[in-house]
Every structure is written in structure tokens, then in C-alpha cells.
Amino acid sequence: MTDIESRIDTSRPHTARIWNYWTGGKDNYPVDREAGDRIRELHPGIGEYAKADRLFLGRAVRYLAGQEGVRQFLDIGTGLPSADNTHEVAQRVVPDARVVYVDNDPLVLAHARALLVGTPEGATDYLDADLRDVDTILAAAAKTLDLSKPVALMLLGVVIFVEDDEESYGVVRRLMDALAPGSHLVLSHTVTHPDMPDVDAAVAFWNEHGTPKLTQRTPEAVARYFDGLELLEPGVVSCSAWRPERPAPDVAMYAGVGRK
């Protein structure tokens, strides 16, 4: 058993594996499926969040690679590989795109090395690090990415795991401060909203039974992550409403893209 495999805990449900279950993946365990079904009972639409967030990722990456000329992506909180991962979307647009994935989930890392393989022209790398380890991430990412040139910082559904507000804003600022002008922040976050009380119930169930625990924030609090950046249209909205290819129902996962 490798060191990574020894860190995989199958006795408690895990957010990355539940997300994988909701999106139709097979990298999950009975405990994850049981928790996922229970959460879906509390909030029947929650399985759509994972799909909406993945579609947002694709639209944002295609826009940045195709319209903004971004050739480098730093994807922190990667999650389990599925269809249309960041490097696949980017390298379809620009084959020489360079992507660094960062996650501290041992199951994600075990799968990443086998599944996240990019084009010969580009580069794809993987780091075992926590979002809070900013200096470690930047130093290791600089071996693959040229941080003197624009980078898209991808933080999809990951700052929700930093409970303290100021710490979470500070981590994002430190990462963006280290990136060159023309870099972009792509961020999504579960929100609490008076029109969606069942979301709060689902999150409360998760925090009681699952790992790691997550923090909801209001749409206004999510918008704070983009302070000091040029927020692209349509701003911070439900991720299903960010430049959709076709109309889709709003979900309690808000997202935005900002330019440095």
C-alpha cells in the first residue's frame, strides 16, 4: 500500500467522492452514496450543482483560453477526475496549454496520476498540497508554469472548506498577488440564500456526518473574493447563469471570473 492509499478513509463520506457520485462517476464508496442520497432527500436539486459547476468550468476555461489568450492554469481543489477536466478543455483550444492541479485528497491524487494526462505540446502536473499552503503551491507550480505570465487561478468549490472568512479572503489575495497582470480568478462557492432553505439543511447534515466540513457564504460575501479585480460580465451569479449556452435553473453555487 502506498502512502497516498494509506490516507484514504472509506469509513466516512467524503465530499470529493459524493461529488463524483452525483456526476455519475464510479470513484466512490457505499458510505458516500448513502450520504449523497440522504443529502439529495433534503435538497433534491443538489445533484445538479455538481453538474452546473462542471459546465461553468468548461465555459470559463474555453473563454480564457480562446478569448483572453490564457495559456496557463493553476487548478486548486481539483476533485476527482471526470469528463472535461481543466487541461482537457484548455488543450482542446490551445494544445500547448500548461496546467497544474493541486489537491490534498489522497483519492484524488491516486487517480490524477493515472487519468490526468495532457497533450504532448502542453504540460500537466499535480501537487499534493492544501489550499492554505500558498508558498508551497507557488514554489512547486513555478516548476511547470511561468508565473511572470498570466495564469488562470481556478478555485471551484474549494474556499468553502476554509471556515474563517478573513483567512479565506487572505489566501485568495496572496495567490492572486503572486500572479502576473492579465491573470484571472475563476471561483465558485456554495451560498446561503433565503430563497433556498433546503440548501442550509443539506449543508447542516453534511457538516454533521461528512468530511471535510464546509462553510456557506452569501452571494455578497462570495463577491468579496474579487475585490481589486475587474469582474467580468455577468458578475457573480449562479454558476448555471454565467454565460450559459442555453437557459438553466439557478443553483445555490455562485461563481464569477475576474481579471487582474
8 Å CB contact between 222 and 242: no
By the 10 Å C-beta count (0-12 exposed, 13-18 middle, 19+ buried), 34 is classed as: middle
Report pLDDT for 48. 74
Report pLDDT for 208. 80
- Spatial separation of the C-alpha atoms in residues 121 and 44, rounded to whole Å: 43
- Spatial separation of the C-alpha atoms in residues 149 and 122, rounded to whole Å: 16
Report pLDDT for 34. 86
How confident is the prediction for the chain on average, in pLDDT?
86
Report pLDDT for 175. 98
Say yes or no to pLDDT of 7 above 80: no
Report pLDDT for 4. 47
Say yes or no to pLDDT of 141 above 90: yes
Is pTM beyond 0.75? Reply is yes
Confidence band (pLDDT; 50, 70, 90) for 6? low
CA angle 209, 211, 216 (to 5 degrees): 90
CB-hemisphere CA count at 13 Å for 92?
10
Average pLDDT over residues 38-59: 80
